């Protein structure tokens, strides 16, 4: 017996899985086909260890993505700010202005909203204390604008 799906998503990297979630949100039945063996699942996100860059204006924005941040974590951490301007600067500097301006604008301006949406779909995020923070005078300080991992 054949099974019919409304949407077939090829690949199970971050982009594909978000597309699959978005299609499900619209009520579509979805199949995701991934060619890698299960032990190598996750697409290239494996190489970033789940780190995701997005613009945030302080801990209030981070709480939208990580509502389970504890009071102690907040008190003992300087998460800093990674503004949309910071994100634009990094995109233009790293690519030497060879990035597509429309896609870059979408990436940067939708980055926080997309993280909040992913969280609403059940993804959990945590601060990357082990790789992206130094302890200075008893307080963790994040650097580089890469603060959160899945
Ligand atoms: C070494 C390395 C380090 C990186 N470091 C960072 C970083 O620090 N910060 C950062 O933001 N980004 C980093 N990136 C980039 C980031 O990982 C990628 O941009 C992102 O993961 C791409 O996601 P994607 O969903 O578009 O594609 P992918 O993650 O590549 O997903 C594509 C999926 O499709 C599957 N697939 C392909 N063809 C088929 C097919 N014919 N049938 C079925 N399945 C198929 C693949 O197996 C894979 O699972 C790094 C990438 C690498 C390789």
Query: How does pLDDT run across 107-141, given as a tens digit for each residue?
Result: 999 999 999 999 999 999 999 999 999 999 999 99
Q: 85: burial class by Cβ within 10 Å (0-12, 13-18, 19+)?
A: exposed
Nearest CA to ligand 1 atom 3: 47
Q: Note if the pTM is more than 0.85.
A: yes
How many C-alpha atoms does 89 have within 13 Å on its Cβ side?
8
| Structure letter (DSSP) for residue 56 | B
pLDDT of residue 120: 97
pLDDT of residue 1: 76
**Average pLDDT over all residues of the chain:** 96
**Pocket flag, ligand 1, residue 53 (CB < 6 Å):** yes
The pick from 8, 10, 11 for probing ligand 1's pocket by mutation, whose C-beta has the most ligand atoms within 8 angstroms, reads 11
**Pocket flag, ligand 1, residue 49 (CB < 6 Å):** no
pLDDT along the chain (150 residues), means of 10: 93 94 97 94 88 96 97 97 98 97 98 97 96 95 95
pLDDT of residue 135: 96
Looking only at the bridges linking them, the beta strands covering 126-127 and 148-149 are: antiparallel
**Pocket flag, ligand 1, residue 11 (CB < 6 Å):** yes
CA separation (Å) from 97 to 25, 40, 89, 100, 103? 35, 33, 10, 8, 13
Ligand 1 centroid vs 9 CA: distance in angstroms? 15
Ligand 1 centroid vs 69 CA: distance in angstroms? 28
**Pocket flag, ligand 1, residue 132 (CB < 6 Å):** no
Nearest CA to ligand 1 atom 35: 11
| Residue 82, token pair as written in the block | 């990674």
Contact 44, 12 (CB under 8 A): no
**Pocket flag, ligand 1, residue 111 (CB < 6 Å):** no
């Amino acid at each position: 017996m054949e099974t019919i799906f409304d949407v077939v998503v090829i690949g199970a990297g971050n982009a594909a899985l978000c597309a699959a979630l978005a299609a499900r949100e619209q009520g579509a039945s979805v199949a995701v086909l991934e060619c890698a063996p299960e032990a190598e699942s996750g697409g290239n996100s494996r190489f970033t260890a789940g780190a995701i860059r997005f613009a945030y204006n302080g801990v209030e924005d981070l709480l939208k993505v990580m509502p389970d941040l504890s009071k102690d974590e907040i008190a003992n951490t300087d998460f800093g700010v990674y503004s949309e301007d910071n994100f634009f600067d990094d995109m233009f500097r790293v690519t030497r202005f060879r990035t597509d301006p429309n896609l870059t604008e979408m990436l940067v301006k939708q980055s926080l909203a997309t993280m909040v949406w992913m969280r609403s779909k059940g993804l959990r995020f945590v601060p990357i204390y082990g790789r992206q923070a130094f302890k200075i005078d008893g307080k963790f300080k994040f650097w580089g604008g890469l603060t959160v991992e899945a």
